[in-house]
Amino acid sequence: MSAIEVSLLKKHYGQLMAVDEISFSVEQGEIFSLLGPNGAGKTTTVEILEGLRERDSGDVKVLGLDPWKEGYTLHRKIGVIPQGFRFFDKSTPLEAVKYYSELFDAKVDPEQIIKEVTLEDGKNVIFENLSGGQKQKVGLALALVNSPELLFLDEPTTGLDPQARRTMWGVIRSLKREGRSILLTTHYLEEAQLLADKVAIMNKGKIIAAGSPEELINKYGSGKRQVMVSDTLEDVFVKLVGAPIEEEGNVAKAG
C-alpha cells in the first residue's frame, strides 16, 4: 500500500479551479516534495491530504484512509509541522513534548524524542529564547509524539540560516531511515533536490512534471555542462513554470 494515493483530485473556489484533476502517489518510506509558485494549488492539496479540507471530486487515500471521512483515525497516524510553527513562549521543548503526549494519551519517552530531533542542548530553554532552528525542531518533536507513519512537513526550514537548515536536513534524513514517509513542501529547490526521492511541480492547479530530481533534470534540463556545472532542479522549475520562484526578502518562495 502506498502512503498516499491521489487520483483526478479537483477543488475549486467559485470560478477558481485551485486543483485541477491531479494524480500522484507517495510510496512508503520515501520523501516526496510538492513544489509550485504562489497560487499553484499546493496548499489546498496538502490540506485535503491532511483531512482539513473537503475535495470536490477525485479519489484520495492517505495510509489507506479517506482523509475527510476517516480523519479521526488518520490523525492518529500522521504528524504535521504547519507553516510558521509557534508554541507557548514560556514553555520548554521538554514540557511541550510531555504536554502533547498527555494530550494525545501517547506512551512515549519525551527525552528520546528530544534526542531524535537533536534538541538536547535546548530542551530546558523556554520557546521564546530558542533559535529559529531550535523552534522548528520543537515542531518536529511534537509531530513525532504519536509515532506517525507519515509526516507532513510544510516549509520546515524557511527562514533558517544555512547551518540550521543543514542540521534539519540531517534530522529529516534520519526519519526517512527509520522508514517514515514524508511529504515535504519547501521554498528551497536545492532542499527538494537534495532530500526528495520524487518531486511534483504544480502550476495553475495542475501537475506539470513529476519524477525524481535526476529524472526531471535529465528530461527538462539543457543537457549542457560547463566547467563541471550541470542543470539544477531550479533550472528545470524556471523552464517549466516560465519564471523563477518569487523572492520574499532573501528567501526563495515556492508559494
Looking up residue 33, the CATH number of its domain turns out to be 3.40.50.300
Helix, strand, or coil (residue 10):
strand
Task: Identify whether 64 is part of a domain.
Answer: yes
Measure the CA–CA gap between 250 and 169, rounded to whole angstroms: 20
Residue 113, pLDDT above cutoff 90: yes
Q: How confident is the model at residue 98 (pLDDT cuts 50, 70, 90)?
A: very high
What residue ranges in the chain does DSSP mark as E strands?
Answer: 4-13, 16-26, 31-35, 57-62, 78-81, 150-154, 181-185, 198-203, 206-211, 246-248, 251-253
How many alpha carbons fall within 13 Å on the CB side of residue 27?
8
Task: Identify whether 49 is part of a domain.
Answer: yes
Q: For 47-95, what is each residue's pLDDT tens digit?
A: 999 999 999 999 999 999 999 999 999 999 999 988 778 999 999 999 9
Percent of the chain with pLDDT over 90: 74
User: What's the whole-model pTM score?
Assistant: 0.88
Q: For 194-221, what is each residue's pLDDT tens digit?
A: 999 999 999 999 999 999 999 999 999 8
Report the pLDDT value the prediction gives residue 255, as an integer from 0 to 100. Answer: 47
Considering only residues 226 and 240, tell me which one the structure prediction assigns the higher pLDDT. 240
Q: What are phi and psi of 50, to 5 degrees?
A: -80, -5
Task: Identify whether 127 is part of a domain.
Answer: no
Q: For 149-158, what is each residue's pLDDT tens digit?
A: 999 998 888 8
Report the pLDDT value the prediction gives residue 254, as an integer from 0 to 100. Answer: 42
* Parent domain of 202: 4-77+148-253
Q: How confident is the model at residue 1 (pLDDT cuts 50, 70, 90)?
A: confident
Task: Identify whether 82 is part of a domain.
Answer: no
Measure the CA–CA gap between 188 and 253, rounded to whole angstroms: 7
Amino acid at 48: I
Report the pLDDT value the prediction gives residue 226, as an integer from 0 to 100. Answer: 55
Vertex 30 angle, CA 29 and 32, to 5°:
145
Q: How many distinct structural domains can be found in the chain? A: 1
Q: Which helix (H) or strand (E) holds 141?
A: helix 132-143
Measure the CA–CA gap between 97 and 127, rounded to whole angstroms: 12
